[in-house]
Amino acid sequence: MEYTELGSSGVFVSALTYGAFAIGGTMWGGNAKKDSIAAIHASLDEGVTSIDTAPFYGLGRSEEMIGEAIKGKNRDQIQILTKFGLVWDQSNQGRGEYFFDAEEQGNTVPVYKYTARTAIIKELEESLHRLGTDYIDLLQVHWPDATTPIDETMEALATLLQQGKIRAAGVCNYSLDQLKEAERTLSLASEQVSYSMLNRSIEADIVPYTQKKNLSIIAYSPLERGLLTGKYFKDSQLKADDHRNGYFGQFPAEKIKTFLAAITPLAEAKGATVSQLVLRWTTLQPGISVVLAGARNATQAIENAQAMHVDIRAEEMTFINQQLETVYA
């Protein structure tokens, strides 16, 4: 495993970090608790020391399972990355900016983006309780909230840093302008954004800015929620409440199948899966510091972690990129 510092925060994380969205179950069709905890334990055993989660993931369940999974382990050797700013509980209903309706165990739950100072403090205390810890290594704004001034949000994070309740502060899904505005108030450690072979828009603006400012990019959805594994082109049946039923339709299926077929022999020659080749490609892209990879069970977690062992030579990277160009053509 490789490790990297988040900006200049002093917080070092594994370059491949465990993404805990799917184990929460919400929007992913559920997941068995024993499999989720086994996936976390397998990741830790493979050197993946960092876990990225959020209160919204499973409406608290993801954080609770992580707390259970790391109980009794050396907390100093594990980095917990969590978030705030997506609220669903009744005490916050109607506050902030309406985002969407989530389907949770047959019920519709309105979700709001809300990053006011009081909400941040409340959410952090709830996360600390669920995770069974007294500090967070990286606390991130989950989504920007148009109803709260960015400087108010950043000032709250600065206070939490001073109090020692968090070791570093970051943002997620911020535009370049929002990122610049945030940095006028607080020196951030990271920005977490969607990035994959099929979604490289941040290379035009976010990547150059973060490289200049020594901000780490944490890339989520590197496998495009499983699409780049190839298995969803093989008569896969997603559950009705799995958000990917509608999500996958935006991508050119036939071109992606052709691309995956082209790089499969390269992966096989390396004794790797296509997923491992894709993950390793992502970790090697300029400006990308950390790549999140989710796993529903121990087998998937081990496969993800071992992607870091895949060696991609310069000429092989050129070949992959040439094949990738056909997807955009």
Strands (E), 26-152: 50-52, 79-84, 86-87, 97-104, 107-113, 138-141
Tell me the three state secondary structure of residue 1: coil
DSSP-H helix ranges across 25-80 = 33-45, 61-70
- In Å, how far are 151, 279, 298 from 262, measured between CA atoms? 48, 16, 28
CB 167: neighbour CB atoms within 10 A? 19
How many other CB atoms sit within 10 Å of the CB of residue 8? 13
* Cβ atoms of residues 114 and 147 within 8 Å: yes
Catalytic residue flag (residue 195): no
| Of the candidates 85, 111, 27, the residue with the CA atom closest to the CA atom of residue 294 | 27
- Rounded to whole angstroms, what are the CA distances from 106 to 20, 65, 92? 22, 21, 21
Q: And the tokens for 214?
A: 């020594």
Query: Which listed residue (3, 18, 57, 98) is catalytic?
Result: 57
- As annotated, the active-site residues are 57
